[in-house]
Chains A and B, each alone.
Chain A
Amino acid sequence: MTATDDDRRVDPGSPAVAELPDTEKLPEAVSLETEEGRRLAAQLADEKARHARKLLEVRDLSTQFFTKDGVVHAVDRVSFELDYGETLGLVGESGCGKSVTALSLTRLVPDPPGKITSGEVIFDGVDIMKLSSEEMRLLRGKRIGFIFQDPMTSLNPTLTIGFQIAESARLHLGLSNRAANDRAVELLSKVGIPRARDRMGDYPHQFSGGMRQRVMIAIALACDPMLLLADEPTTALDVTIQAQILELIRSLSDEFGTAVILITHDLGIAAGMCHRVNVMYAGQIVETGVVDDLFENPRMPYAWGLLDSLPRLDEERGSRLRTIEGMPPDLIHVGDDCRFAPRCPYSRDICLEDEPQLTEREGPDHLARCWGTEPGRAWIE
């Protein structure tokens, strides 16, 4: 696994995009009298505004499924931020709400039975919850690309891959058939499909799983999006192929300056790919921090459990918790408690009586949701 690659990780405070432009200098350089000058000024102001904000701000996002058995609290008051060009990991066991979080960001939660019940999602300065469905559609594929878990089923078996890649370029970028095809060929060779032009007319079943995931990546990047949502992009693939696909996502997102939300249940993958990691449990973020910080000093028993299921050389942490016993809770019967309490070896009465909140640990960049490590009352060492 590409577990350590330090030059990839940049300080989360300094986004991996160009230097902050200085609008103060503008009047000397260009005149606002001319059209060109005004355009440049507007562009610079726009850039400056971008640097002042995040690419993505998610606040109190909740998504529920209204099923016969009850309301499934799949995503529960999730908040996080993402810088332009940053790679963020969303990590947790299966069923903890990672996919639904990603789907909610693009408003693709199947409705019925799903509904986004609260929250704000500010994407590039726009609250997407307030967009009309048509405006939302124009963001999808163009500004936000999606890679799904299973490349065997995520491509349309009756359409050529060339068509499937060119389709969104034609739609969103207004390219002619020929230009869209050329772009598709270019993308195909970029994602490492040999003889790209010859393979445009081939159908998905003529490709291996790894190759199909490359095609999927080409589709997701067809319009050069600002954000790539990669939902377990390698889970369905052979271990040998996994590293190649991750490397591809990494190099292309670097090249295009694309921010990535990488969903995985494998902390090792997140460690190798991400600047920050959000650990999710039972629909909530239970810990978030910069990768090094989180791995060095996790502040929540569930995160320890995840870390300890990683193969590692130092046995230091093994004494605390080897594997996480038990199952994640069902998300219908949730109450005012710590959702991890039934599985937590450190739980005390307060954990069952009151819900812990995401609070700071050793600085504003590292948050955890745990009474046992809550400053002032911590009992876990």
Chain B
Amino acid sequence: MTTYIIRRVAWLIPVVFVVSVITFLLMHAAPGTPFQPVSDRPLPPAVIERLEEQFGLNEPIYIQYVNWVGNILQGDLGPSYRIRGRGVSDIIADNMWASVQLGTMSFALAVILGIPLGVIAALRQNKWPDYLSTFISVIGIATPSFVLAVLLVLIFSVTLHWFPTSGWRGPEYWVLPVVALSGYGIAQVARYTRASMLEVTRRDYVRTAQSKGLKERSIVTVHMLRNAFIPVVTILGPLLAGLITGSFVVESVFAIPGIGRFFVDAIFQRDYGLIMAVTLLYAVLIAVMNLVVDVAYAWIDPRIRYS
């Protein structure tokens, strides 16, 4: 298991390297520069030249890359080309936390609610708990997070005044955004868990467990759940990545000071420094999530662990 984890962690290095090169090249291949905005008042060429010099953009491209990576390794994600006087590191440090909180809480909720919903649905197949769970799943998958967000605000903030409409200042601010963002995740996890449990119910080893006279409860918890989790785990990695990177819509609706919003702004403003940094950050995050999922996968399924 340890060698497996080490092997998987070692894999992160080439992955991150390749992503960094691609990000860097894409940004430089993109037409225009941050200093040529699509505005009616272009900067004089002399100013642009001075700015490019200031940011090192007149160097050959591989030097720029080496500089960029060198700085990143020292913890400096480089300058923002648009927001004067603030480094990308500062911007990310200030805004990352809210996004990470939102993403992980939504993920946790998706797992904590989705798995029991799926399990109960499978154990009560074609009875009312199953229908209720399926109903929730269909709604959850079909409703985009911004619709859910707006609905939640209308009902629980505007009408009932239970929760604040916007901001990110404490637990009462978390509830609605987390629910809005996790709706889809809950539905997906429930759907996969149900299908997987039903599949496992028909397996021979479950019949073996029954023939051993085990209690219904231990057949489900000891013999079925673990096996049923195996396919569910494979969707958790993409789900978590999606929740963290895809949170900008919810961040906008609830005015949460998260990185997602900055990212969107950065794209519109061609703030390449910020775009590159955030892209790289997301790439690393997703790679790490996948790693965590793979390790969880191996932990659950000994056939992987020992191969």
- A141 interface hit (Cβ, 8 Å): yes
Q: Is the CB of B300 within 8 A of A158?
A: yes
Q: Would you give the 0/1 interface string for A336-355, flagging 1 where the beta carbon is closer than 8 Å to chain B?
A: 00000000000000000000
What is the CB-to-nearest-CB distance from B84 to chain A, in angstroms, rounded to a whole number?
57
Q: Is the CB of A108 within 8 A of B301?
A: no
Q: Is the CB of A203 within 8 A of B205?
A: no
A325 CA to B257 CA in the complex, in Å? 78
- B302 interface hit (Cβ, 8 Å): yes
Q: Is the CB of B213 within 8 A of A156?
A: no
Q: Is the CB of B303 within 8 A of A157?
A: yes
| Contact partner, A146, options B211, B223, B302, Cβ 8 Å | B211
A159 CA to B230 CA in the complex, in Å? 13
Question: Could you tell me which residues of chain A, from 124 to 140, have a CB within 8 Å of some CB in chain B?
Answer: 137-140
Question: Could you tell me which residues of chain A, from 216 to 232, have a CB within 8 Å of some CB in chain B?
Answer: 216, 219-220, 222
Give the residues in chain B near A142, CB-CB below 8 Å: 213
By beta carbon, the residue of chain A nearest B205 is A156
By beta carbon, the residue of chain A nearest B307 is A205
Give the residues in chain A near B212, CB-CB below 8 Å: 140-141, 146, 167-168, 171, 219, 222
Give the residues in chain A near B127, CB-CB below 8 Å: none
A141 CA to B226 CA in the complex, in Å? 22
> Of the 9-residue stretches A13-21, A114-122, A147-155, A261-269, which lies at the interface with chain B?
A147-155
| Contact partner, B204, options A138, A140, A153, A206, Cβ 8 Å | A153
Give the residues in chain B near A64, CB-CB below 8 Å: none
| Contact partner, B211, options A140, A156, A203, Cβ 8 Å | A140
| Contact partner, A159, options B204, B207, B210, B222, Cβ 8 Å | B222
Q: Is the CB of A158 within 8 A of B204?
A: no
| Contact partner, B306, options A108, A139, A172, A205, Cβ 8 Å | A205
Q: Is the CB of B302 within 8 A of A158?
A: yes
A148 CA to B203 CA in the complex, in Å? 12
By beta carbon, the residue of chain B nearest A150 is B204
Q: Is the CB of A159 within 8 A of B223?
A: yes
Question: Could you tell me which residues of chain B, from 289 to 307, have a CB within 8 Å of some CB in chain A?
Answer: 300-303, 306
Give the residues in chain B near A140, CB-CB below 8 Å: 210-213
A142 CA to B208 CA in the complex, in Å? 13
- B169 interface hit (Cβ, 8 Å): no
Give the residues in chain B near A104, CB-CB below 8 Å: none
By beta carbon, the residue of chain A nearest B206 is A156
A355 CA to B288 CA in the complex, in Å? 70
Contact (A171, B214) CB under 8 Å given A153-B204, A154-B208, A156-B223 = yes
- A253 interface hit (Cβ, 8 Å): no
A108 CA to B215 CA in the complex, in Å? 14
Give the residues in chain A near B210, CB-CB below 8 Å: 108, 140
Contact (A141, B213) CB under 8 Å given A146-B208, A148-B207 = yes
- B209 interface hit (Cβ, 8 Å): yes
Give the residues in chain B near A138, CB-CB below 8 Å: 213
The 7 residue pairs across chains A and B that have the minimum distance between CB atoms: A141-B213, A140-B213, A146-B211, A141-B212, A153-B204, A203-B302, A156-B205
A-B contacts besides A148-B211, A157-B303, A216-B208, 9 pairs, CB < 8 Å: A108-B210, A146-B211, A148-B207, A150-B204, A155-B205, A155-B208, A159-B226, A171-B212, A171-B215
5 contacts between A and B (CB under 8 A): A106-B211, A158-B230, A159-B223, A159-B226, A168-B212
The interface of chain A, by Cβ under 8 A from chain B, is 106, 108, 137-142, 145-146, 148, 150, 153-159, 167-168, 171-172, 203, 205-206, 216, 219-220, 222
